[in-house]
Amino acid sequence: MKQVLLLLLGLISTSQSANILGIFTCPMPSHSIVQMSVAKALAEKGHNVTILTTVDPVIKHKNFNVIHIPLSPEDARYFKELFGSLGKTDTDGVLGSIVANPRELSYVPAMNVGVEKGAIMTFSQRIKTLAMSWGYRLWDAIENVENKKRYNFLYGDDPTMPRFEDLPKNISLMFFNSHGLSEGPIRPNLPGVIEIGGIQIKDTPDPLPKNIAEFLDDAREGAILLSLGSNIQSDHLQSDTVKKMFSVLSKLKLKVIWKWDKLEHIPGNSSNILYSKWLPQDDILAHPNIKLFITHAGRGGISEASYHGKPMLALPMFGDQQGNAGSMVKQGFGLSLKLLELKEKTFQNTINEILQNSQYKENVENFSKLYRDRPLTARQSVIYWTEYVMRYHGAKHLQSPLVHMDFIAANNLDIYGILGVSVAFVLYLIYLFLD
Ligand SMILES: *[C@@H]1O[C@H](CO)[C@@H](O)[C@H](O)[C@H]1NC(C)=O
Ligand SMILES: *[C@@H]1O[C@H](CO)[C@@H](O)[C@H](O)[C@H]1NC(C)=O
Ligand SMILES: *[C@@H]1O[C@H](CO)[C@@H](O)[C@H](O)[C@H]1NC(C)=O
Ligand SMILES: *[C@@H]1O[C@H](CO)[C@@H](O)[C@H](O)[C@H]1NC(C)=O
């Protein structure tokens, strides 16, 4: 969940509009959406944003100059495996260390240790957190040996470039895709660590298309939004599963908006179901009559529904969906069923359980309130802090002094060393005296 964004502020003009360079190397589409949302916030403010990216961005803006450099097939495969394995791990342990954000290992759990928000870690969870943190530091150190070689190969002869080791010393601040107060963990953050979790979600919804708006406004008993994502075509769904879903949904008093891309082959006709190929999902979830979101448990959909305080029924199929669904259920925002093993009765009972047991709604609504209650919205934060760094031509005053200290001083090892030697010396004197 935690991602770090790299934004370089270049050729800063003194007036309102600056030239901003974004280098987005991560080839994961879910990361790209977050990074491009940051770029969009800045472009909407009137900045001239140039983006170097490995993914063809879905988010566009007239103030963008996009330079798309696709990965070679080998690199794409490498990254897929790397990020597949990193997906649920604590990369922020490593990246926090770049800006020397305090990493309190006794109570800030590593990401996939699975500690509930606000809970105190057990002994074994603390061991796991400690081991993972050291593991990632080691991994980071090993990676950096390679990175340094690459850097020196590219820039080694250029006297105007800083040394590789000195690069973190030029970071003014970092944006994190998280919101600790609502999501946890509670931890100390440096002033230059700016949380912008939810940046990809609109602050205020756009008006809905007329047919959808009327359909939802009319839903006196409430409505359900069903979307199994853009990667799953209706062909991929077993017709048996679709039949079961239709049978349950068509009998509900609630209305259903069903994302379905083959309108000539719909699962069935029912007055309470509206099929649509394309849906403004975020705007629909914002509608007060939506009572339940049935989702394939993609990360984006879950964050949008959490943002709007809507309980969920997850139907994960593959990839990280299972994990996303698991943590959603753990937060108490809904329930999860395996799509491929869907049974009519279970589907129906689970829908009823989520609609009737107010616990799910209350949990997600409470989260939503906390998530949205901020002095600046995520967009406003991006704009404010980016322009802040520009105003001071790099905000070195935000940095932790730790960034500029060596390992010995940073850990007071010299003081402990002197103390140790002194104690040994005194003990030795006592020993001589007693002898
Ligand atoms: C915007 O940035 C591009 C470089 O990507 C540059 O060619 C262009 O001149 C810039 N526009 C302005 C108005 O500065
Ligand atoms: C980067 O930091 C070094 C050391 O503090 C400083 O000498 C240099 O001017 C900085 N470079 C930029 C581009 O800010
Ligand atoms: C639904 O109704 C439309 C028009 O009334 C009809 O063309 C279509 O065949 C029906 N589909 C199913 C699956 O019954
Ligand atoms: C939601 O918040 C309200 C008010 O803070 C509280 O009374 C209630 O217990 C919370 N519900 C859940 C399920 O945590």
pLDDT at 232: 59
Q: Does position 337 have pLDDT exceeding 70, yes or no?
A: yes
Q: Which two tokens stand for residue 363?
A: 């949990």
pLDDT at 426: 96
Alpha-carbon torsion (179, 184, 185, 187), positive or negative: positive
Q: Does position 118 have pLDDT exceeding 90, yes or no?
A: no
pLDDT at 7: 52
Prior bond to 185 cis, omega within 30? yes
Distance CA 323, CA 25 (A): 24
Place of tokens 């970071």: 171
Of 196, 225, 362, 242, nearest to 283 by C-alpha is: 225
How would you classify the pairing of strands 193-195 and 174-176?
A: parallel
Any ligand 2 atom below 6 A from CB of 170:
yes
Cα(264) to centroid of ligand 3, in Å?
9
Place of tokens 């879905």: 58
Any ligand 1 atom below 6 A from CB of 65:
yes
Place of tokens 């490593």: 94
For helices 299-307 and 321-330, the axis angle rounded to 10 degrees is 30
Per-residue pLDDT tens over the stretch 352-372 = 999 999 999 999 999 999 999
Q: pLDDT band for 29, please (50, 70, 90 cuts).
A: confident
Q: Which ligand is nearest to the CA of 392?
A: 2
- Ramachandran category for residue 366: left, alpha or beta (phi over 0 → left; psi -120 to 50 → alpha): alpha
Q: Does position 235 have pLDDT exceeding 70, yes or no?
A: no
Rounded mean pLDDT, 86-91? 44
The rounded Cα 2 to chain-centroid distance in angstroms is 5
Q: Does position 6 have pLDDT exceeding 90, yes or no?
A: no
Cα-only R_g, the chain: 26
Any ligand 2 atom below 6 A from CB of 330:
no
Where are the chain's structural domains?
A: 4-98+142-195, 210-372, 408-434
Rounded mean pLDDT, 377-406? 94
Q: pLDDT band for 223, please (50, 70, 90 cuts).
A: very high
Largest CA distance in the chain: 100
8 A C-beta contact, residue 257 and residue 277: no
Any ligand 1 atom below 6 A from CB of 147:
no
Per-residue pLDDT tens over the stretch 133-161 = 899 889 989 999 999 999 999 998 899 99
pLDDT at 2: 37
Atom in ligand 1 nearest the alpha carbon of residue 65: 5
Of 75, 71, 74, nearest to 55 by C-alpha is: 71
Q: Does position 1 have pLDDT exceeding 60, yes or no?
A: no
Distance CA 309, CA 368 (A): 5
Distance CA 80, CA 30 (A): 13
Quick one: CATH architecture of 210-372?
3-Layer(aba) Sandwich (3.40)
Helices (H), 277-412: 281-285, 299-307, 321-330, 344-356, 358-372, 378-391, 407-410
Distance CA 139, CA 85 (A): 13
Q: Does position 90 have pLDDT exceeding 60, yes or no?
A: no
Q: Does position 212 have pLDDT exceeding 90, yes or no?
A: yes
Any ligand 3 atom below 6 A from CB of 402:
no
Cα(13) to centroid of ligand 1, in Å?
12
pLDDT at 50: 96
